[in-house]
Structure 1
């Protein structure tokens, strides 16, 4: 083989090697771009939830404390703009389709815990149509409820005399309460907030359509810390059982009713399901 031929072969080999190297480099760059794009997408997808989590870590200071108005507004500003996608939900899911509107029997509520610690918890509630979360309280807790999907009827009460409610010693466990809310809420809507002794601390949810609610509880329920849930039913006070006397508008313009504490009703039982939405970085803040 001549010197020129050898040189031509070497030149072709070098060219093929360079082309292969270029292809490998381009492929790696392409994959890297894809990885970066995926990471960016995941970050964008979960950024609102992460912001909520970071803010909760700063706002909630543990049992016996209530966030100041500025911190309450801070969390509301985040929750008010949250969308189903921020927690991995979609309106296209079968659960939220019209054909899922009718469920035979007593539909059960499902709950998924996103995060829970001593100071606060984040959880999702899934209510099939007609499902009920019966009247229950939130002792010593500040609660933010954000309706993400669906329509829910919310009825809530505060004790008419909160100062004496802890010392009430009636054998019948019947107490007078003032109605805070009693209407339908449809997503998207503003966040509702309740406090240990105001804002509708005792409330119930009745799903008009399949619905999803994001709850922020600070601090969360805890039997060990004497923050167990109590349940109630509306009743008339006295011999009458006329349902019209369950609630009554009084001279101050507020509507009042009587609530009787009861054992945990069957419809209060929930099915725990895993949370499958965007993860939270506990060490981000």
Structure 2
């Protein structure tokens, strides 16, 4: 009788622990990213920047993420260039559907290039999960404040369009970044600051996790535009009528919108990492 009683308690205790473990099931990192994005971009929209505290909160989640959190590794086929391909093919993995934000991953084989393009009205978080990459980015030259108003109330963070010179269809831009990176912490660009137009060149196989708020939307006028960057000195040697010293001219360029580059080879593939449960 005593043994049966003890055995019964042990069974009840074991069942209780199992139920507790099920209740305490760990939330995946990618699910945490999704939930954080949902909160951060809840009151945002085109040209509206999340509050500084929300920017830091989302950046902190991304900083901690690795390729394993999204089910990737450098030895996967996405990251190998094929000898039969004239241009290395870039693979895009789409993680969620939302009118407020978009999460996706660009998988680049060595020498893969995402040409210079913009992010109209968007706040973008980019995390290089692994690999070596060269990044060149620009901001439009215009209002000294870049038109950004940051406020703890996201609804007040409205971006005013900058005043940009526009001679002969060209727009003046200033270089923000022109460097090589190795899996750095998260970079952030804003609608009018931080390198809104950028180009990625993979020096090795790379994976880039991107969060865009809001996403591109052709019906709403947020289409992805591509640009040629022309040397500043080839067009002018002054900004706002003031001559730019020769040693500073590499800091500027004239950008000209172009059609989608013919040598851009990008395909979409099904994301097979830890699932995101939308709610």
More off after superposition, 56-65 vs 221-230: 56-65
Structure with the higher helix share, 1 or 2: 1
1:184 is aligned to 180
**Structure 2: distance between partners of 1:76 and 1:84:** 16
Structure 1: where are the runs of 5+ without partners? Answer: 1-21, 241-247
**Structure 2: distance between partners of 1:222 and 1:164:** 24
* Cα pair distance change 1:126/1:190, threshold 3 Å: same
Matched ranges for 1:37-186 at <5 A = 44=26, 47-60=28-41, 61-64=43-46, 65-96=48-79, 100=80, 103=83, 104-161=85-142, 163-165=162-164, 169-170=166-167, 172-186=168-182
**Structure 1: distance between partners of 2:177 and 2:245:** 14
* Cα pair distance change 1:94/1:228, threshold 3 Å: closer
1:4 is aligned to none
Between structure 1 and structure 2, the one with the greater Rg is 1
Residue 277 in structure 1 maps to residue 273 in structure 2: yes
TM-score (norm. length: structure 1): 0.74
2:191 is aligned to 196
Cα RMSD, aligned residues only: 3.0
Give the superposition deviation at 1:101.
Answer: 6.2
Superposed CA deviations along residues 228-252 of structure 1, whole A, max 9, x for unmatched, are: 0111111135767xxxxxxx87788
Superposed CA deviations along residues 124-177 of structure 1, whole A, max 9, x for unmatched, are: 111111111000000000000001121111000001115213xx554x421111
Q: Secondary structure at the match of 1:82?
A: coil
Give the superposition deviation at 1:206.
Answer: 0.4
TM-score (norm. length: structure 2): 0.76
Give the superposition deviation at 1:117.
Answer: 0.7
**Structure 1: distance between partners of 2:252 and 2:271:** 39
Q: Secondary structure at the match of 2:96?
A: strand
Give the superposition deviation at 1:269.
Answer: 4.5
Give the superposition deviation at 1:108.
Answer: 1.7
Q: Secondary structure at the match of 1:57?
A: helix
Superposed CA deviations along residues 18-51 of structure 1, whole A, max 9, x for unmatched, are: xxxx9xxx9xx99x97x998x799x54x621111
- Mapped contact 1:177–1:259 kept (Cα < 8 A): yes
**Structure 1: distance between partners of 2:203 and 2:247:** 32
* Cα pair distance change 1:95/1:222, threshold 3 Å: closer
Superposed CA deviations along residues 64-88 of structure 1, whole A, max 9, x for unmatched, are: 3210111111111010010111111
Give the superposition deviation at 1:253.
Answer: 9.5
* Cα pair distance change 1:218/1:249, threshold 3 Å: farther
* Cα pair distance change 1:52/1:233, threshold 3 Å: same
Superposed CA deviations along residues 194-230 of structure 1, whole A, max 9, x for unmatched, are: 0000000000000111111110000000001110011
Q: Secondary structure at the match of 1:53?
A: helix
1:264 is aligned to 260
- Mapped contact 1:102–1:129 kept (Cα < 8 A): no
- Mapped contact 2:90–2:106 kept (Cα < 8 A): yes
